[in-house]
Amino acid sequence: MIVRDVKDVIGTEDEIVTDNWTSRRVLLAKDGMGFSFHETIIQPGTETHIHYQNHLEAVWCVEGDGEIETIADGKKYALHAGIVYALNENDEHWLRGGTKPLRVICVFNPPITGREVHDEDGVYPLITEETGA
């Protein structure tokens, strides 16, 4: 069994800090679960273009506020504690921070390895690795 404390991820290579968000990857591809599991904090007032063409992501908002706008249809959804969104069609979107830090729990399928960075189109490349499983 794997038991982790997100506090032990802070300050390691599994915590990614950008101007717009900080992501703590608590479970990664190497853990062999078939998904990765992250805590992400979106900074207030930021806007991030995201299009995960190679991954499905589900996001559970647990604290703070923000907004998501799907680019195909221009629909906007307010984000706050209790809202879950799933990018089941690899939906291209804008993710916007609100007035307070927005803390979310994210699941990626296939799992993130930890080596991906958003490219200029907001895409993570598909990287697969052996899990030994």
Enumerate binding residues for ligand 9YT (CB under 6 A).
21, 23, 38, 40, 50, 57, 59, 95, 104, 106
Question: With respect to ligand 9YT, which residue has the nearer C-beta, 50 or 123?
Answer: 50
Distance, CA of 100 to CA of 94 (rounded, Å):
17
Q: Which residues pair with 109 in a beta bridge?
A: 56
Greatest extent of the chain over all pairs of C-alpha atoms, in Å: 43
Minimum CB distance to ligand 9YT, residue 27 (Å)? 11
Minimum CB distance to ligand 9YT, residue 124 (Å)? 7
Question: With respect to ligand 9YT, which residue has the nearer C-beta, 1 or 64?
Answer: 64
Whether the Cβ atoms of residue 35 and residue 111 lie closer than 8 Å to each other:
yes
Question: With respect to ligand 9YT, which residue has the nearer C-beta, 1 or 70?
Answer: 70
Q: Strand, coil or helix: what is 57?
A: strand
For residue 119 the two structure tokens come to 């490219």
Separation of CA 98 from chain center: 17
Question: With respect to ligand 9YT, which residue has the nearer C-beta, 57 or 92?
Answer: 57
